[in-house]
Amino acid sequence: MEDLREYIINFAGLKQGFHTMEFLINSSFFEEIQSEEKMDVEIRLALEIEKNNNLLVFKFHFSGFMNTQCDRCGDEVSLPLDFSETLYVKITDESQNEEDINVITLATHEYQIDIRSYVYEFIMVHLPYRRIHGVDNDGKSLCNEKALKFLEEKEKPDIDPRWEALKKLKTDN
């Protein structure tokens, strides 16, 4: 099991300026946060934190892969993941209603932030909607050929022979 305490950033102890951290996110991360979706991933998170007087800027860069089942052919597929997100944290005692979901406000007496939910949300938002094999250099699908042939055969409708006779009358006139 993964120790999720490492995702709690004690920013009060950081000096002004830039700081970097690295995390390895795998299936145990999703198990620990009790995600409904089982994820087979290996993602490297490079986090850069810029600390100023009343502002923290968290720059997340995710890179890695996700192993899943192809939506088209059902075979195992490994999908690359590479994306970045930025989270701004304002430190103030004034109540503010931010319109931007990447801007949060913390009170001046707070000294740490738990980034687990942000990591989870950023990953989930960037997962591909269609999880399928890609294509080779010639544009041919890398999916299982037997499965694709089976699907093509199933897509052909079984035509009642009586309709074929009627269609023949239509074209003969």
pLDDT at 1 over 50: no
124: left (phi over 0), alpha (psi -120 to 50) or beta: alpha
CA 27 to chain centre: 13
In a domain, residue 162? The reply is: no
In a domain, residue 151? The reply is: no
In a domain, residue 159? The reply is: no
What range defines the domain where residue 100 resides? 4-135
pLDDT tens-digit readout, 92-134: 877 666 666 778 888 888 888 999 999 999 998 998 888 888 8
The pLDDT value given to residue 14: 84
Question: CA–CA separation, 11 vs 78, rounded Å?
Answer: 36
In a domain, residue 152? The reply is: no
- Would strands 40-51 and 8-9 be described as parallel, antiparallel, or unpaired? unpaired
In a domain, residue 109? The reply is: yes
Reported as a pLDDT band with limits 50, 70 and 90, residue 169 is confident
The pLDDT value given to residue 58: 95
Which sign does the torsion angle of CA 161, 163, 166, 172 carry? negative
For 6-13, what is the mean pLDDT? 86
Q: Extract the runs of DSSP E, i.e. beta strands, from 15-112.
A: 17-26, 40-51, 55-69, 76-91, 103-106
For the chain, what is the domain count? 1
For 134-146, what is the mean pLDDT? 83
Name the most confidently modeled range: 95-99, 142-146, 154-158, 159-163: 142-146
In a domain, residue 131? The reply is: yes
Which candidate, 25, 21, 24, places its Cα nearest to that of 33? 25
pLDDT tens-digit readout, 25-72: 998 888 888 877 778 899 999 999 999 988 999 999 999 999 988 888
In a domain, residue 171? The reply is: no
DSSP 3-state of 25: strand
In a domain, residue 140? The reply is: no
CA 91 to chain centre: 28
- Report which of residues 121 and 4 the model is more confident about: 121
For 143-155, what is the mean pLDDT? 77
Residues 6+ apart with CB under 8 A from 61: 45, 46, 47, 48, 83, 84
- Report which of residues 155 and 144 the model is more confident about: 144
Which candidate, 33, 41, 9, places its Cα nearest to that of 22? 9
Asked if residues 88 and 102 have their Cβ atoms less than 8 Å apart, the reply is yes
